[in-house]
Amino acid sequence: MIKKNKPNETIVIDAVVGAGKTSYMEMLSEEMKIPCFQEPVQENPLLDKFYYDRKRYAFPLQIYFLNRRFEMLKQASESGEPSLMDRSIYGDMIFAKMLYEKGDMEKDEFILYRDLLTNMLDHVEAPKLMIYLKIDTDSAIERIKKRGRDYEQIVERDYWENLNKEYEDYFSNYNLSPLLVIEAAKYDIVGNLKDREKVLQIIREAM
């Protein structure tokens, strides 16, 4: 389904919810002086509705994210310059697969989503570097609570646990580009300068 197209100059940061993708992307953007494309969360009209009624909004939310990710990839490609991407279009299937297997997405919806993603991937280049922020579920939940988004607080632990397992399974088999795995719970890149410098060193070496 996924082609190994030629790589571009994009660095992608991917991880389960709460791992710290945005903080890492802002850090790298500041240090490397390159633009970033953030995951469409704040302006997303469906995200909060999804967490209150997953079965009703699973499919339209996935289509919304897929469309926006493809749009951002086109913008990054057209610029021809290095850029940072918050979450990968490749990993977008992780959510859809889990929602389908849990019964929150109908089979025909999942097939439609999969076919649309397959067509898009014909036009997507692999990133220069994929950074996966690996984190245990409890640490991710703790960060989600600190972040304080109301709609995330109502989500049961099993959802985050299953999502994290899907991410770990996916990235244990990822081979589309160079992959850097960072143990996100070990580092506080926002409040600890030594941790920040250590992580930057790890990423520079990977590049």
The answer to whether 115 is annotated as binding is: no
The answer to whether 144 is annotated as binding is: yes
Give the mean pLDDT of 16-40.
Answer: 87
Taking 70 as the threshold, does the pLDDT of residue 30 lie above it?
yes
The answer to whether 167 is annotated as binding is: no
The answer to whether 39 is annotated as binding is: yes
In this predicted structure, what is the pLDDT of residue 136? Answer: 94
Give the mean pLDDT of 2-12.
Answer: 69
The answer to whether 92 is annotated as binding is: yes
Terminal C-alpha separation, the chain: 27
Taking 90 as the threshold, does the pLDDT of residue 181 lie above it?
yes
Give the mean pLDDT of 155-173.
Answer: 91
Higher pLDDT, 146 or 14: 14
Taking 70 as the threshold, does the pLDDT of residue 42 lie above it?
no
Q: How far apart are CA 139 and CA 18, in angstroms?
A: 8
What CATH number has the domain spanning 10-206?
3.40.50.300
Q: What DSSP string runs through the chain? A: ----PPB-SEEEEE-STTS-HHHHHHHHHHHHT--EE--S-TT-SSHHHHHH-HHHHHHHHHHHHHHHHHHHHHHHHHH-S-EEEES-SSTHHHHHHHHHHTTSS-HHHHHHHHHHHHHHHTT-PBPSEEEEEE--HHHHHHHHHHHT-HHHHTS-HHHHHHHHHHHHHHHHS--SS-EEEEEGGG--TTT-HHHHHHHHHHHHHH-
Residues 6+ apart with CB under 8 A from 88: 12, 14, 69, 127, 130
* Every domain of the chain and the residues it spans: 10-206
In this predicted structure, what is the pLDDT of residue 2? Answer: 53
Tell me which residues are annotated as active site.
Answer: 86
